[in-house]
Chains A and B, each alone.
Chain A
Amino acid sequence: MPYEIHGLSVYIYVGLVMLGVIFSLIRLAIGPTAPDRVVATDILTTITTVVLVVLALFFDRQIYLDVALVYAVLAFTAVVAIARFLEGGL
């Protein structure tokens, strides 16, 4: 049975996640120091993985979950590389 995306709960969910994305973007724009912006990028990475999984639910295709799987494995390397650079290593 395909998932109907006309319910009220789905609208509330998408609104909450979009508010989260906008707040993280505000912190990315106004962050005083560089580690603030790195934290905002980390949060946006995790929210992006969630959005990919939820889009797989909306389009009702299982092949879209593979994108989220690749993303969950690979996306933290960018944040760790930038953190190592800030630390002075790399």
Chain B
Amino acid sequence: MVGRIIGDIFLIIGGIFIFLASLGLLRMPDVYNRMQTSTKAVTLGAMSSILGVGIIHPAWLLKCILIMLFILFTNPVSAHAIGRAAYKSGVKLWKGSVCDKYGEHLEDKNE
């Protein structure tokens, strides 16, 4: 019964993080802001939810940890690929952005 309550708490935390990630995806002004705010938060929400399921059923915990590890390894790869593709395909930064390190790096490499 204690495991059920702890698992429910983890599920609710994961649901709140998934909801906040989607809200950031809808509200942010720029491609890079949207990608940054949504990919990290949805990774945390997914891992918290799957850990909650693994705590509710302790016999499933090993497979749940395996799914968490795969999400933790594959999600930053796709986020990095999207960011790089958005910069290379010519999407402008938001006008309130402060610094552009990747553009400076490309300029240094071209000179």
Contacts and interface: CB of A to CB of B under 8 A. Distances in A.
Contact of B53 (A56, A69, A83): A56
A23 B40 CA distance: 17
A50 B85 contact: no
A72 B75 CA distance: 9
Interface residues of B, number: 49
Interface residues of A, number: 48
A81 B18 CA distance: 25
Interface of B: 4, 8, 11-12, 14-16, 18-19, 21-23, 25-26, 31, 34-35, 38-39, 42-43, 45-46, 49-50, 53, 56-57, 59-60, 63-64, 66-67, 70-71, 74-75, 77-79, 81-82, 84-86, 88-89, 91
